[in-house]
């Protein structure tokens, strides 16, 4: 019997900070601006993964406000099938790009970069329109 193939669990964190939301410019493919986030480690809760990824990529400590929505379309990540649980959080501290983030900046709905990675434009449209 073949071993089961399962999607990879991930988290993304919409961090409200400095009058907008934080995005990172990815250092590794797929390139583009993205909501901070990443893979959940074995034995790690979704909430702990969100705090860890936010700190690693942005230098910010976060306070989780709410679990926003889960996104699971098989094509959302061009590398492989992922399921992302997205959180909304507030950021505390000084924003600085780190880990696999080449840049980090604050954007608002009207200033989003053209090149967003993954399905992050759709996620941000849901967030800004208050869909969830």
Contacts of 90 (CB under 8 A, 6+ apart): 15, 16, 17, 62, 63, 65
Cβ–Cβ < 8 Å for 98, 14: no
Q: How far apart are CA 92 and CA 55, in angstroms?
A: 10
* DSSP string of 33-72, one letter each residue: EE-SEEEPPTT--HHHHHHHHHHHHHS-EEEEEEEEEEE-
103 catalytic residue (yes or no): yes
Q: How far apart are CA 81 and CA 71, in angstroms?
A: 11
Select which of 53, 103, 115, 125 is catalytic.
Answer: 103
Residues classed as catalytic = 103
């Amino acid at each position: 019997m073949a071993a089961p193939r399962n999607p990879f669990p991930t988290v993304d964190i919409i961090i409200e900070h400095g009058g907008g939301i934080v995005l990172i410019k990815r250092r590794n493919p797929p390139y583009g601006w993205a909501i901070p986030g990443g893979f959940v480690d074995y034995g790690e809760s979704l909430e702990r993964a969100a705090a860890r990824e936010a700190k690693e990529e942005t230098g910010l400590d976060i306070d989780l406000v709410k679990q926003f929505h889960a996104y699971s379309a098989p094509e959302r990540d061009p590398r492989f099938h992922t399921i992302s649980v997205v959180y909304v959080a507030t950021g505390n501290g000084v924003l600085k790009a780190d880990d696999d983030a080449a840049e980090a900046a604050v954007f608002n709905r009207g200033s989003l970069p053209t090149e967003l990675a993954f399905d992050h434009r759709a996620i941000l449209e849901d967030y800004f329109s208050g869909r969830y």
